Amino acid sequence: MSIHSKTFKGIKVSAGIAIGKAVVISHTFKDMVVRRINPDEVEAEKNRFISAIRLITEQTDRLLAGMTPKELKKIGPHINVQKMILSDLRFAEDVLNIISSELVSSEVAVTRSLDRYLKQLSSKEKSSLNARSMDIKSIEFLLLRILSGKIRDVSILSEEFILVTHDITPTELYYYSKQRMIGLITESGGRNSHASIVARSLNIPAVAGIPGITQAINTADKVILDGIGGIVIVHPNQKQIAEYSEKRTSFCLLIESQQVNRQTEFLSRDGIRVSVLANIDFPEEVDIAKSLGADGIGLLRTEFYFIERPRTPSEEEQFKSYDYIAEKFYPKEVTIRTLDVGGEKIPGFISHQKEENPALGVRAIRFCLKNKNLFLSQIKAILRASYRGNVRILIPMISKMEEIIETRRLIEEAKQILTDENKRFDPNIKVGIMLEIPSIIFIMEDVAKHIDFFSLGTNDLIQFIMAADRGNIELFDSASSLSPPIIRVLYTIIEKARSLNKPIYVCGEMAAEEEDIVVLLGMGYRHLSMSPINIPIFMNIIKDIDIKKAEGLVKKIISFENDSDIIREVERFLSEKDNII
Amino acid sequence: MKESDDSPKPGGEERKIRKVLTLKNQLGLHARAAAALVNIATKFRSDIQIQYNDETANCKSIMGILMLSAPFGAEIEIIIEGDDALQAMREIESLIENRFGEPE
């Protein structure tokens, strides 16, 4: 008897196709038992921890015993490391001590103990996502999942798998990617949740925003995940498997051919040059971005330098990392965006007032201007990495002139300090702002006097203009990029930037959708920054686009009154383009 | 450098030997390398310590070794005390010299 295949549509988060076995983790970390215990519970709690360790060790041994020599060679060492950490007396004693002296549950004790180790490590390492920290972090996931009864058998993680979960932290995702995870499906999260960003960074195909998917799929079910189309198929039939295997192959070939050719000149069909840059979050992504043909870094997000870390990074740590990226890409440009989160996510900053609406609260530049020491150390680190002349500063969430003036003043202050400290930097470093809060559009002329370039953050801009959360599936239609108000705003912006003679970069994920690309190019946008993995896809699209014709398309749709007319016209344009080839 | 008191006592069972070695593998003392070191160390009865940057760790504890964070090119000192110290040093030295089996 065959089970019928079932198709789910979600949000495309990270390009690529995965076909494989599902591993479902149906609960979130938030359900974890975090509690204090009574003195008379100490013994029982200690035993619970010891049993968990014993269970994992036994399963690990069974797993290792059942492996072929080839498997053993490939993943044996990694599993051995886990086993060794688990049987490390220093660690076990640590946890048992915390249980009895601090009177907390095993889960809390495990986290506290490992946090101390991680803290000690992070004081010595460049990146929080280094291999040593990850091996330790991986123990935490295993122990916590086992203690909470969410995973009963760790061996499922030793074969290739597609993870199906409610939500996932970036660090846990990173850990699974080092195991044999080949795809990610989440119930919650949108294109720009932190886990989604990390999935793209790690080139893991991912689809998000499918409520109920952890119930619809069982562990060991066969699943197709299409991160390009945002589709998940459970129990696929032979025909579907064949079709997607072929898609997967052609996608891989596309990526490989780009890695071989390393094309960095992207020309449209009518020979117009478009510059394509990469959005990255970690220094580890530099090589893949380069190999896929990025003409520089259009956006280095720095949030992961601060969040999910035991403490804020020093100026020196930041400098080393920024400098590494700047050197790798020299002489191409590297644009570093200053911190774009609020204090609630950064260690050492306790927000005294709970914000009812954090997205519209004290975050990004607002947070930085209230915490000038933190901001100044980041600016200094960026300036120090700029001495070769290829680094630029980008300020997020600017909503009014005063913020720009104050930021410029701080940059000058940082330059003065560095001069006094005898440290080199680029005195003419270019400073740009994100165009994402609508207020700025009305004062672009005034703002332009104080900055060197604009970066268009399409995700936030659309979200703020439409007052619609793009991560909310119910509001998909309300937050479409192909709607009359958005089209007209984007057109106004490029016209203004042109007359002000300021370069403008598109940094949102709009630079990755065929329909959006045609419209952006037709309006005159020529600098697009996207996730590295999308560069080969873009390359494939742009070579077939006739920009002169796209200009005609824009002239036409700019006066359309509703979404569906615009979408129909753009689709018609693209299908005609296909016919020409 | 003066002869240290730690030099092997002629004819004695108990010996303490120490040797400075340079990490030649690209990743330094990362987890798998540390695990290989623990695997060797636990085979011996001797007390085996590893020192780097004024920190000392027990070679039989992977956490201790990881916490040293010794990178590529680091000069580490191995200190072994016990009746099978010589053989232990020989094996540890060969592990490090062979870059923990990693490619160059």
- Tell me how many domains chain A contains: 4
A300 and A441 together in one domain: yes
> Rounded distance, CA A504 to CA A435, Å?
9
Q: Which residue of A has its CA nearest to B67?
A: A121
A451 and A465 together in one domain: no
CATH, residue A484 = 3.20.20.60
Contacts of A242 (CB under 8 A, 6+ apart): none
Cβ separation A117–B67 shorter than 8 A: yes
- For chain A, the average pLDDT equals 86
A228 and A304 together in one domain: no
Pick the closest to residue A184 from B8, A360, A197 (CA basis): A197
A311 and A267 together in one domain: no
CATH, residue A110 = 1.10.274.10
What ipTM score was computed for the predicted complex, to two decimals?
A: 0.79
> Rounded distance, CA A520 to CA A271, Å?
16
Q: Which residue of B has its CA nearest to A113?
A: B63
A94 and A194 together in one domain: no
A304 and A448 together in one domain: yes
Asked if residue A446 is part of any domain, the answer here is yes
CATH number of B15-99: 3.30.1340.10
Which stretches of A1-124 are DSSP H helices? 42-65, 69-86, 89-102, 106-122
A-chain residues within 8 Å CB-CB of B63? Answer: 85, 88, 90-91, 117, 136
Asked if residue A204 is part of any domain, the answer here is yes
**So where are chain B's domains?**
15-99
Asked if residue A174 is part of any domain, the answer here is no
Of all helices (H) and strands (E), which one includes residue A514? Answer: helix A514-523
- Based on its alpha-carbon atoms, the radius of gyration of chain B, rounded to whole angstroms, reads 13
State residue A148's pLDDT score.
66
Active site (annotated) includes residue A194: yes
Asked if residue A285 is part of any domain, the answer here is no
Q: Say if residues A336 and A371 touch (Cβ distance below 8 Å).
A: no
Q: Does A448 or A10 have the greater pLDDT score?
A: A448
Pick the closest to residue A159 from A180, A177, A173, A174 (CA basis): A180
- A residues 106-165 near B, CB within 8 Å? 117, 120-121, 124-125, 131-132, 135-136
Please check whether residue B101 touches A, CB under 8 A.
Answer: no
A442 and A312 together in one domain: yes
Interface test with A, best of B61, B62, B72, B95 (most A CBs within 10 A): B62
> Rounded distance, CA A274 to CA A543, Å?
10
Cβ separation A131–B30 shorter than 8 A: yes
Catalytic residue among A166, A368, A507, A527: A507
A37 and A16 together in one domain: no
Q: pLDDT, tens digit, for every residue of A299-358?
A: 999 988 887 666 788 999 999 999 999 999 999 999 999 999 876 666 667 555 677 777
A516 and A558 together in one domain: yes
Give the SS3 label for residue A61. helix
For the entire predicted model, the pTM comes to 0.70
A-chain residues within 8 Å CB-CB of B58? Answer: 90
Of all helices (H) and strands (E), which one includes residue A182? Answer: strand A181-186
Please check whether residue B94 touches A, CB under 8 A.
Answer: no
Q: Is A65 exposed, middle or buried (0-12, 13-18, 19+ CB in 10 A)?
A: exposed
Cβ separation B66–A131 shorter than 8 A: no
Q: What is the mean pLDDT of residues A545-557?
A: 95
**What percent of chain A lies above the pLDDT cut of 70?**
86
Q: What does the longest C-alpha to C-alpha distance in chain B come to? A: 40
A233 and A341 together in one domain: no
Q: pLDDT, tens digit, for every residue of A236-277?
A: 999 999 999 999 988 888 888 877 777 777 889 999 999 999
> Pairing relation of β-strands A430-435 and A391-395?
parallel
> Rounded distance, CA A512 to CA A530, Å?
7
Asked if residue A277 is part of any domain, the answer here is no
Q: Could you say which DSSP state residue A506 is in?
A: E
B-chain residues within 8 Å CB-CB of A91? Answer: 63
State residue A266's pLDDT score.
86
**What percent of chain A lies above the pLDDT cut of 90?**
48
Contacts of A2 (CB under 8 A, 6+ apart): A237
Interface test with B, best of A85, A127, A129 (most B CBs within 10 A): A85
CA-CA-CA-CA torsion for A43, A44, A45, A51, nearest 10 degrees? 110
> DSSP letters of A213-280?
HHHH--TT-EEEEETTTTEEEES--HHHHHHHHHHHHHHHHHHHHHHHH----EE-TT--EEEEEEEE
Asked if residue A226 is part of any domain, the answer here is yes
- For A326, A389, A425, the CA distances from A422, given in Å and listed in that order, are 20, 17, 10
A450 and A304 together in one domain: yes
Q: Say if residues A548 and A580 touch (Cβ distance below 8 Å).
A: no
Pick the closest to residue A389 from A419, A421, A427 (CA basis): A427
Asked if residue A513 is part of any domain, the answer here is yes
- Total beta-carbon pairs less than 8 A apart between chain A and chain B: 46
Q: pLDDT, tens digit, for every residue of A555-578?
A: 999 999 999 999 999 999 988 865
pLDDT of A465 > 50? The answer is yes
State the smallest CA–CA distance between residue B87 and chain A in angstroms.
23
A418 and A489 together in one domain: no
B-chain residues within 8 Å CB-CB of A135? Answer: 30-31, 66
Question: Domain containing A466: what range?
Answer: 263-272+460-506+508-581
Cβ separation B61–A89 shorter than 8 A: yes
